[in-house]
Structure 1
Amino acid sequence: MLNLTALRAFHEVARRGGVAGAAARLNVTDGAIRYQIRQLEQELGEPLIIRSKRSLALTSAGSSLYSRLSHVFQEMERACQSLSSDYGMDGDLRIACAPAFAGSRLPSVIKLFCEQYPLMTVRIFSIDMADDSMDIIISYGERPVPGTREAILGDEIYFPVCRPELRYEWDINTPADFARCIALHADTGADWMRLLSMASPQPVQFAQQIYFPNAAVSLQAARRGCGIAVGTSILCADDLRSGALVRLLDMVVPAPNPYFVIQPGAPHKESAERFVEILMAQVERT
Structure 2
Amino acid sequence: MRFWQVNILHHLNALRCFEAAARLGSIRAAAEELNVTDGAVSRQVRQLEIYLGLSLFERGHRRISLTDSGTRLAQDVTASFNLLRRANQYLEFDQAKKPIVLAAPASFLLRWLIPRINRLQKALGETPLQLVTWDQQGCNIDSSISVSIRIGSPDSSADVINTAFMQEEFGLVVNPKLLGIPPSNIEEKILKIPRLIPKTRPNIWDQWIEESAVDTFDTPTIGFERMFFTLEAAEAGHGIAIAPRLLVTDSITSGRLVAPFGFISRKGKYYAVTAKWNEENQSVKKVINWFEKVGKEEKNYIQ
- Indicate the TM-score class for this superposition, using the shorter chain for normalisation: 0.5 to 0.7
**Aligned equivalents of 1:119 and 1:132: distance in 2?**
24
Residue type at the aligned position of 2:106: P
User: CA contact under 8 A between 2:174 and 2:257: conserved in structure 1?
Assistant: yes
Q: Is there any run of 5+ residues in structure 1 with no aligned partner, and where?
A: 1-87
Residue type at the aligned position of 1:263: T
Give CA-to-partner distance per residue, 1:244-270, whole Å, 9 cap, x none. 21112x254333522111011324321
Classify the secondary structure of the residue corresponding to 2:180.
Answer: helix
Cα distance, 1:149 vs structure 2: 0.4
User: CA contact under 8 A between 1:160 and 1:228: conserved in structure 2?
Assistant: yes
Structure 2 equivalent of residue 272 of structure 1: 284
Matching residue within 116, 131, 140 for 2:151: 140
**Aligned equivalents of 1:280 and 1:220: distance in 2?**
27
- Large movers: runs of 4+ above 6 Å: 169-172
Counterparts in 2 of 1:116 and 1:130: CA distance versus 1, 3 Å: same
Q: Does 1:164 align with 2:213?
A: no
Cα distance, 1:202 vs structure 2: 2.9
Q: Does 1:263 align with 2:270?
A: no
**Aligned equivalents of 1:267 and 1:125: distance in 2?**
18
Match runs of 1:218-237 below 5 Å: 218-237=230-249
Classify the secondary structure of the residue corresponding to 1:235.
Answer: helix
Structure 1 equivalent of residue 166 of structure 2: 153
Q: Which of the pair has more CA radius of gyration?
A: 2
**Aligned equivalents of 2:232 and 2:140: distance in 1?**
24
Matching residue within 176, 192, 196 for 2:205: 192
Classify the secondary structure of the residue corresponding to 1:276.
Answer: helix
Give CA-to-partner distance per residue, 1:226-259, whole Å, 9 cap, x none. 22111223222222222221112x2543335221
Residue type at the aligned position of 2:104: C
Counterparts in 2 of 1:259 and 1:121: CA distance versus 1, 3 Å: same
Cα distance, 1:220 vs structure 2: 2.4
Q: Is there any run of 5+ residues in structure 2 with no aligned partner, and where?
A: 1-94, 299-303
Cα distance, 1:225 vs structure 2: 2.5
Counterparts in 2 of 1:118 and 1:209: CA distance versus 1, 3 Å: same
User: CA contact under 8 A between 2:230 and 2:241: conserved in structure 1?
Assistant: yes
Counterparts in 2 of 1:281 and 1:116: CA distance versus 1, 3 Å: closer
Matching residue within 88, 101, 105 for 2:108: 101
Instruction: Work out the number of aligned pairs and report it.
Output: 196
Residue type at the aligned position of 2:176: P
Cα distance, 1:174 vs structure 2: 4.5
User: CA contact under 8 A between 1:89 and 1:117: conserved in structure 2?
Assistant: no
**Aligned equivalents of 1:225 and 1:112: distance in 2?**
31
Classify the secondary structure of the residue corresponding to 1:255.
Answer: strand
Structure 2 equivalent of residue 92 of structure 1: 99
Structure 2 equivalent of residue 202 of structure 1: 215
Scaled by the length of structure 2, the TM-score of the pair is: 0.57
Residue type at the aligned position of 1:102: L
**Aligned equivalents of 2:193 and 2:275: distance in 1?**
43
**Aligned equivalents of 2:188 and 2:208: distance in 1?**
14
Scaled by the length of structure 1, the TM-score of the pair is: 0.60
Structure 2 equivalent of residue 122 of structure 1: 129
Matching residue within 265, 278, 287 for 1:254: 265
Cα distance, 1:118 vs structure 2: 4.8
Counterparts in 2 of 1:265 and 1:198: CA distance versus 1, 3 Å: closer
Give CA-to-partner distance per residue, 1:70-96, whole Å, 9 cap, x none. xxxxxxxxxxxxxxxxxx943200111
